[in-house]
């Protein structure tokens, strides 16, 4: 059985099919086609708020990572495909989606970034833990940072659901977390520098926090994007406050769906996802009394 591949809708390595094959990386859907789409990578670069030189450098770094991940695929060009989302969407959170749409996203995804503020209120932490348990049952891998508050709630919920997790730490033993994934690579710091408005003012010991935030979105080797980012953090005028901003900014720049539980409407949508999950499990339990599972 072939290993899961990040560029294929069904998780298997696609057939290269010749030099004209193109793999368009789109966080909402991945497709293989023999021709170019109308919205090209270069056009996409000109649409958003990140300065063009920074955006170009950011995309080059990420494309190199994807190329390493698919090195055996001869004749394949990797392009970022931007289409259908107005520029204003990149400075705001995702609009609330129906629970059925969120559930479909959970079923089709492979991993998600579960992050947020250290000062997240207790009701939000309870909801986060419940959501993380549901997502663990869906089989999604949690990516988080091991910090107090939202990060810890995501990890606890994932553990309760016996899910898989990737906890990226700025250094070994951060917050007494035993994760072996620490000391972010230089490329992650380079990406963080492109996203931060005043990188020179960031003290060296704090740069590791921003770098590990990049890994939360693009994985250990920066070659696999999360399916979506779920977080709790205050926003002002569409800008996320605090250290969570690095990961969210990167995700929004690269068209990865983001959901801020600080937004009451989005929080309610995810409560409905949890409720739907519980109701489904109750029905299963009634049909199969030996099965027990609830978030």
- Mean of pLDDT values over 104-111: 85
Q: What is the dihedral of CA 112, 38, 87, 80, to 10 degrees?
A: 30
How much is the CA Rg of the chain, to the nearest whole Å? 19
Higher-pLDDT residue of 20 and 288 is 288
Name the phi and psi angles at 160, rounded to 5. -65, -35
Minimum mean pLDDT among 8-17, 59-68, 193-202, 249-258: which range?
A: 8-17
For 24, the enclosing helix (H) or strand (E) is: strand 22-25
Q: What pLDDT is stored for residue 94 in this prediction?
A: 56
Minimum mean pLDDT among 43-52, 151-160, 203-212, 272-281: which range?
A: 43-52
> What residue ranges do the domains of the chain occupy?
22-84, 89-276
Looking at 3.40.50.450, 3.30.830.10, 3.30.70.2190, 3.40.50.300, the CATH number of the domain 89-276 comes to 3.40.50.450
Q: What pLDDT is stored for residue 295 in this prediction?
A: 59
Kindly state the greatest CA–CA separation across the chain. Answer: 60
Higher-pLDDT residue of 236 and 268 is 268
Task: Write the pLDDT tens digit of every residue in 212-236.
Answer: 999 999 999 888 889 999 999 999 8
Q: Tell me the pLDDT band of 294, cut-offs 50, 70 and 90.
A: low
Query: In b/e form, how buried is each residue of 83-94, taking b as 16+ CB within 10 angstroms?
Result: eeeeeeebeebb
List, in sequence order, the alpha helices (H) in the chain: 41-45, 52-69, 99-108, 122-138, 150-160, 186-195, 204-218, 245-253, 264-287
3-state secondary structure (DSSP) of residue 232: strand
Q: What pLDDT is stored for residue 223 in this prediction?
A: 84
Higher-pLDDT residue of 70 and 80 is 70
- Global model pTM greater than 0.85: no
- Candidates 230, 203, 206; CA nearest to 216 is 230
Q: What pLDDT is stored for residue 208 in this prediction?
A: 95
**Which residues neighbour 258 within 8 Å (Cβ) at sequence distance 6 or greater?**
93, 94, 228, 229, 230, 231, 248, 251, 252
Q: What pLDDT is stored for residue 120 in this prediction?
A: 96
Q: Tell me the pLDDT band of 105, cut-offs 50, 70 and 90.
A: confident
Task: Write the pLDDT tens digit of every residue in 15-70.
Answer: 333 333 333 333 333 233 333 233 333 333 223 345 556 666 777 777 666 555 55
Minimum mean pLDDT among 47-51, 73-77, 190-194: which range?
A: 73-77
Q: What pLDDT is stored for residue 291 in this prediction?
A: 54
- Mean of pLDDT values over 100-128: 91
Q: Using the structure block, give the residue that is written with the tokens 């966080």.
A: 27
Question: What does the mean pLDDT of the chain come to?
Answer: 74
Residues in the chain: 295
Task: Write the pLDDT tens digit of every residue in 117-154.
Answer: 999 999 999 999 999 999 999 999 999 999 999 999 99
Minimum mean pLDDT among 51-60, 62-71, 199-208, 267-276: which range?
A: 62-71
Q: What pLDDT is stored for residue 247 in this prediction?
A: 93
Q: Tell me the pLDDT band of 282, cut-offs 50, 70 and 90.
A: confident
Q: CA separation (Å) from 129 to 34, 125, 126, 232? A: 43, 6, 5, 12
């Amino acid at each position: 059985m072939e290993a899961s591949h990040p560029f294929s809708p069904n998780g298997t390595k696609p057939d290269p099919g010749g030099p004209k094959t193109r793999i368009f990386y789109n966080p909402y859907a991945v497709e293989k086609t023999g021709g170019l789409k109308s919205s090209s990578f270069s056009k996409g670069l000109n649409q958003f708020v990140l300065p063009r030189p920074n955006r170009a450098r950011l995309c080059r770094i990420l494309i190199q990572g994807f190329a390493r991940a698919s090195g055996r695929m001869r004749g394949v060009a990797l392009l970022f495909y931007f289409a259908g989302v107005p520029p204003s969407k990149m400075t705001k959170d995702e609009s609330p989606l129906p629970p059925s749409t969120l559930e479909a996203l959970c079923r089709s995804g492979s991993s998600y970034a579960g992050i947020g503020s250290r000062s997240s209120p207790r009701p939000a932490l309870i909801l986060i833990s419940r959501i993380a348990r549901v997502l663990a049952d869906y089989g999604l891998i949690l990516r988080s940072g091991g910090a107090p508050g939202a990060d810890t709630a995501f990890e606890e919920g994932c553990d309760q659901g016996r899910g898989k997790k990737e906890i990226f730490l700025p250094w070994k033993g951060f917050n007494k977390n035993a994760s072996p994934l620490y000391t972010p690579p230089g490329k992650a710091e380079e990406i963080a520098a492109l996203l931060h408005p005043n990188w020179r003012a960031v003290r060296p010991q704090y740069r590791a926090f921003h770098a590990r935030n990049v890994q939360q979105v693009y994985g250990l080797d920066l070659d696999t994007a999360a399916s979506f980012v779920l977080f709790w953090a205050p926003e002002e005028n569409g800008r996320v406050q605090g250290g969570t901003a690095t990961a969210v900014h990167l995700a929004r720049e690269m068209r990865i769906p983001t959901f801020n539980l600080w937004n009451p409407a989005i929080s309610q949508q995810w409560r409905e996802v949890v409720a739907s999950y519980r109701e489904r499990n109750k029905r299963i339990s009634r049909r199969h009394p030996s099965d027990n599972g609830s978030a």
